Chains A and B, each alone.
Chain A
Amino acid sequence: MTLDEHTKALRDSGRKALVAFLTAGYPDERTFVEMVKAASRAGCDVIEIGIPFSDPIADGPIIQESSTKALEQGITLKRCIELAKELSSEITPPLVFMSYINPILRMGIDRFAKDADSAGVRGVIVADVPLEESEEVRSVVSEFGLTYIDLLAPTSSDDRIDTIASGANGFIYLVSVTGVTGANSPEASDVTRFVERVREKTELPLYVGFGIASASQARSACESADGVIIGSALIKMARSVEASEAPEKIETFLRQVRGAIDEVADSATPVENPERTE
Chain B
Amino acid sequence: MSDGRFGVFGGQFVPETLMPCLIQLSETYEDAREDPAFAEELHELFRHYSGRPTPLYHAERLSRAYGGSKNCRIYLKREDLNHTGAHKINNCLGQALLARRMNKTRIVAETGAGQHGVATATVAALFDMSCTIYMGELDIERQHPNVLRMKLLGAEIVPVSSGSRTLKDATNETIRDWVTNVRTTHYIIGSTVGPHPYPTIVRNLQSIIGDEARRQIVQVEERLPDALIACVGGGSNSIGLFYPFLEDEDVRMYGVEAGGSEQGHSAALGEGTPGVLHGSLSYLLQTEDGQVKSAHSIAAGLDYPGVGPEHSQLKDSGRVAYYSVTDKEALSAFQDLSRLEGIIPALESSHALAFAKQYLSDSRSKPGEVILINLSGRGDKDVESVEKVLNP
What is the interface of chain A, defined by CB distance below 8 A to chain B?
A: 53-58, 60, 64, 68, 71, 76-78, 100-107, 127-133, 135, 150-157, 160, 164, 175, 178-180, 183-184
Q: Is there an interface contact between A58 and B179, defined as CB atoms closer than 8 Å?
A: yes
Residues of chain A with a CB closer than 8 A to B183's CB: 155, 178
Stretch in contact with the other chain, from B16-24, B111-119, B128-136: B16-24
Q: Is there an interface contact between A183 and B277, defined as CB atoms closer than 8 Å?
A: no
- CA of A160 to CA of B141, assembled, Å: 44
Q: Could you show 8 A-B contacts with beta carbons less than 8 Å apart?
A: A57-B172, A103-B290, A105-B274, A132-B19, A156-B19, A178-B17, A180-B180, A183-B180
- List 16 additional A-B contacts (Cβ < 8 Å) besides A76-B289, A128-B14, A156-B20: A55-B163, A57-B179, A102-B284, A102-B290, A105-B290, A107-B289, A107-B290, A128-B276, A130-B13, A132-B2, A133-B13, A153-B16, A154-B17, A160-B16, A175-B15, A183-B180
- Return the contact of B286 from the options A56, A106, A178 (Cβ within 8 A): A106
Binding site secondary structure of chain B: mixed
Known: A133-B12, A135-B1, A156-B16. A55 touches B290 (CB 8 A): no
Q: Is there an interface contact between B16 and A54, defined as CB atoms closer than 8 Å?
A: no
Q: Is there an interface contact between A180 and B2, defined as CB atoms closer than 8 Å?
A: no
Give, as a whole number of angstroms, the nearest-CB distance from B378 to chain A. Answer: 31
Chain B contributes a number of interface residues (CB within 8 A of A) equal to 38
Give, as a whole number of angstroms, the nearest-CB distance from A180 to chain B. Answer: 5
Known: A55-B168, A128-B276, A160-B19. A106 touches B162 (CB 8 A): no
Residues of chain A with a CB closer than 8 A to B163's CB: 54-55, 68
What is the interface of chain B, defined by CB distance below 8 A to chain A?
A: 1-2, 11-21, 162-163, 168, 172, 175-176, 179-183, 274-279, 281, 284, 286, 288-292
Chain B, Cβ-Cβ closest to A126: B13
Residues of chain A with a CB closer than 8 A to B15's CB: 57-58, 127-128, 130, 151, 153, 175
- CA of A156 to CA of B22, assembled, Å: 12
Give, as a whole number of angstroms, the nearest-CB distance from A166 to chain B. Answer: 15
Q: Is there an interface contact between A103 and B289, defined as CB atoms closer than 8 Å?
A: yes
- Return the contact of B16 from the options A53, A68, A152 (Cβ within 8 A): A152
Chain B, Cβ-Cβ closest to A79: B289
- CA of A60 to CA of B179, assembled, Å: 11
Give, as a whole number of angstroms, the nearest-CB distance from A121 to chain B. Answer: 18
Residues of chain B with a CB closer than 8 A to A155's CB: 16-21, 182-183
Give, as a whole number of angstroms, the nearest-CB distance from B277 to chain A. Answer: 6
Q: Is there an interface contact between B180 and A103, defined as CB atoms closer than 8 Å?
A: no
Residues of chain A with a CB closer than 8 A to B179's CB: 57-58, 178-180
- Return the contact of B275 from the options A68, A102, A154, A160 (Cβ within 8 A): A102
- Return the contact of A178 from the options B162, B182, B288 (Cβ within 8 A): B182
Q: Is there an interface contact between B289 and A153, defined as CB atoms closer than 8 Å?
A: no
Residues of chain B with a CB closer than 8 A to A135's CB: 1
- CA of A76 to CA of B182, assembled, Å: 32
Residues of chain B with a CB closer than 8 A to A183's CB: 180
Residues of chain B with a CB closer than 8 A to A128's CB: 13-15, 276, 279
Interface-central residue, A76, A100, A105, by most chain B CB under 10 Å: A105
Give, as a whole number of angstroms, the nearest-CB distance from B102 to chain A. Answer: 14
Q: Is there an interface contact between B16 and A151, defined as CB atoms closer than 8 Å?
A: yes
Nearest first, the 4 closest Cβ-Cβ pairs linking A and B are A106-B290, A103-B290, A132-B2, A153-B17
Give, as a whole number of angstroms, the nearest-CB distance from B303 to chain A. Answer: 15
Q: Is there an interface contact between B162 and A64, defined as CB atoms closer than 8 Å?
A: yes
Q: Is there an interface contact between B289 and A104, defined as CB atoms closer than 8 Å?
A: no
Give, as a whole number of angstroms, the nearest-CB distance from B48 to chain A. Answer: 37
- CA of A71 to CA of B163, assembled, Å: 12
Known: A135-B1, A160-B19. A129 touches B292 (CB 8 A): no
Q: Is there an interface contact between B276 and A105, defined as CB atoms closer than 8 Å?
A: yes
Known: A133-B11, A178-B183. A55 touches B292 (CB 8 A): yes
- CA of A77 to CA of B284, assembled, Å: 18
- CA of A102 to CA of B11, assembled, Å: 13
Residues of chain A with a CB closer than 8 A to B284's CB: 102
- Return the contact of B176 from the options A130, A180, A184 (Cβ within 8 A): A180
Q: Is there an interface contact between A53 and B291, defined as CB atoms closer than 8 Å?
A: yes
- CA of A107 to CA of B291, assembled, Å: 11
Residues of chain A with a CB closer than 8 A to B18's CB: 130, 155
Residues of chain B with a CB closer than 8 A to A101's CB: 13, 276
Chain B, Cβ-Cβ closest to A58: B15
Residues of chain A with a CB closer than 8 A to B17's CB: 153-155, 175, 178-179
Give, as a whole number of angstroms, the nearest-CB distance from B183 to chain A. Answer: 7
- CA of A184 to CA of B181, assembled, Å: 12
Q: Is there an interface contact between A175 and B172, defined as CB atoms closer than 8 Å?
A: no
Residues of chain B with a CB closer than 8 A to A105's CB: 274-276, 281, 290
Q: Is there an interface contact between A133 and B2, defined as CB atoms closer than 8 Å?
A: yes
Give, as a whole number of angstroms, the nearest-CB distance from B294 to chain A. Answer: 9
- Return the contact of A102 from the options B1, B288, B292 (Cβ within 8 A): B292
- CA of A121 to CA of B292, assembled, Å: 25
- Return the contact of A132 from the options B12, B275, B278, B289 (Cβ within 8 A): B12
Chain A, Cβ-Cβ closest to B20: A155
Residues of chain B with a CB closer than 8 A to A53's CB: 290-291
